[in-house]
């Protein structure tokens, strides 16, 4: 191998050689490469399928946008289209005297408001009942405390009476029965 490449090698290693080509030769070479690639190369299956999917998605999104726009601006669009030609007058929105069906959102909102109001009333009644019950419990506890104090006073009086009872009683204690009477009582009790 020599230091100078052969003409076949120079064409093969044209971009790698330190020898500079002229600008015209580079432009001609680039044009040849582009022509060669575009003429001989067919897009791969992946490229073709991705282009088909992209076309489908663009068409789909245009349809979605058109549908949403029609739903939002259908009356204005119908008036506009009807104004373009007298033959398209049938597309114009028909004037209706009264709305026959209520708006479902308004109906739902009304129902929710009614339910919330009923719930608030029920809660207010429950709070009132709870407050009334609490007042009744407080009164009952106060009555029990008063009754307990009265019972405590009565117990103290009874204890005082029982403590001073034998000294205040002027009657002598009852006498024991004679033995003969005791035996008679025992016999009658045993006979029963």
The CB density around residue 92, as the number of other CB atoms within 10 Å, is 14
pLDDT at 20 over 60: no
pLDDT at 174 over 50: yes
> E strands along the chain, which residues?
none
Under the banding of pLDDT at 50, 70 and 90, the label for residue 102 is: low
pLDDT at 163 over 50: yes
Q: Report the range of poorest mean pLDDT among 128-137, 145-154, 166-175.
A: 166-175
Question: Is-contact 55 62, C-beta < 8 A?
Answer: no
Q: How far apart are CA 109 and CA 103, in angstroms?
A: 10
Return the higher-pLDDT residue of 13 and 71.
Answer: 71
Token duo for residue 117 = 């109001």
Return the higher-pLDDT residue of 132 and 180.
Answer: 132
pLDDT at 54 over 90: yes
DSSP classification of residue 90:
G
Q: Which of 17, 11, 16, 48 is nearest to 33 (CA)?
A: 11
Q: Report the range of poorest mean pLDDT among 33-42, 58-67, 158-167.
A: 33-42
- As a whole number, mean pLDDT of residues 14-23 equals 56
The mean of the pLDDT values for the chain is 76
Question: Is-contact 89 82, C-beta < 8 A?
Answer: yes
Under the banding of pLDDT at 50, 70 and 90, the label for residue 165 is: low
Q: How far apart are CA 176 and CA 173, in angstroms?
A: 9
Return the higher-pLDDT residue of 165 and 49.
Answer: 49
Q: Report the range of poorest mean pLDDT among 17-21, 84-88, 108-112, 121-125.
A: 17-21
pLDDT at 83 over 70: yes
- 10-45 burial string, b = 16+ CB within 10 Å, else e? eeeeeeeeeeeeeeeeeeeeeeeeeeeeeeeeeeee
What pLDDT score does 8 carry? 62
Helices (H), 43-103: 45-84
């Amino acid at each position: 191998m020599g230091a100078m490449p052969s003409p076949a090698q120079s064409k093969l290693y044209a971009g790698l050689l330190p020898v500079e080509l002229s600008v015209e030769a580079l432009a001609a070479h680039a044009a040849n490469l582009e022509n060669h690639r575009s003429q001989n190369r067919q897009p791969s299956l992946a490229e073709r399928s991705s282009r088909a999917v992209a076309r489908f998605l663009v068409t789909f999104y245009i349809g979605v946008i058109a549908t949403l726009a029609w739903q939002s601006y259908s009356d204005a669009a119908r008036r506009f289209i009807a104004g373009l030609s007298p033959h398209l007058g049938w597309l114009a929105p028909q004037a209706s005297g009264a709305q026959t069906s209520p708006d479902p959102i308004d109906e739902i909102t009304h129902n929710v408001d009614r339910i919330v109001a009923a719930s608030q009333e029920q809660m207010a009644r429950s709070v009132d009942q709870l407050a009334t019950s609490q007042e009744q419990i407080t009164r009952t506890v106060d009555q029990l405390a008063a009754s307990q104090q009265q019972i405590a006073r009565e117990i103290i009086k009874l204890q005082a009476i029982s403590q001073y009872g034998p000294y205040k009683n002027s009657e002598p204690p009852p006498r024991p029965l004679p033995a003969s009477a005791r035996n008679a009582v025992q016999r009658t009790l045993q006979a029963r």
